[in-house]
Amino acid sequence: QVQLVESGGGVVQPGTSLRLSCAASGLTFSIYGLHWVRQAPGKGLEWVAVIWGNGVTKDYGDSVQGRFTISRDNSKNTLYLQMNSLRVEDTAVYYCATDAGGAAFDYWGQGTLVTVSS
């Protein structure tokens, strides 16, 4: 079965960097679009970024544009999110999710918590 496992979360200070990973199994990784979605404590879902199968086409939400970089390694079945210049408001659980192409997000990981605090 499809499994997505996020890692890399933790407690960091404002202005610093962190890289999240999402390891996938049970699917043909390279054909899927992959999204990062975050959820601040007690809040709703916010789309962060997407990367398509070729690894070239990417898009970002306005709140992270220019600070976060999404990437993927199809040889390792792994998705990444490089987060730079972190802000307190980036504190959230970060989920990765799959997209079969113009489709809803059919598989989700369990999430990894990022806390940005001084």
Partner 1 sequence: EIVLTQSPGTLSLSPGERATLSCRASQTVSSTYLAWYQQKSGQAPRLLMYGASSRATGIPDRFSGSGSGTDFTLIISRLEPEDFAVYYCQQYRSSPWTFGQGTKVEIK
| Stretch of residues binding partner 1 (CB under 8 A), selected from 12-20, 24-32, 58-66, 81-89 | 58-66
**Judged by CB under 8 A, does residue 52 bind partner 1?**
no
In this structure, how many other beta carbons lie within 10 angstroms of the beta carbon of residue 24?
A: 22
Q: Which is nearer to partner 1, 52 or 75 (CB)?
A: 52
Residues 6+ apart with CB under 8 A from 92: 38, 39, 40, 41, 43, 46, 113, 114
**Judged by CB under 8 A, does residue 54 bind partner 1?**
no
Q: Which residues make up the interface to partner 1 (CB under 8 A)?
A: 35, 37, 44-47, 50, 59, 61-62, 95, 99, 102-106, 108-111
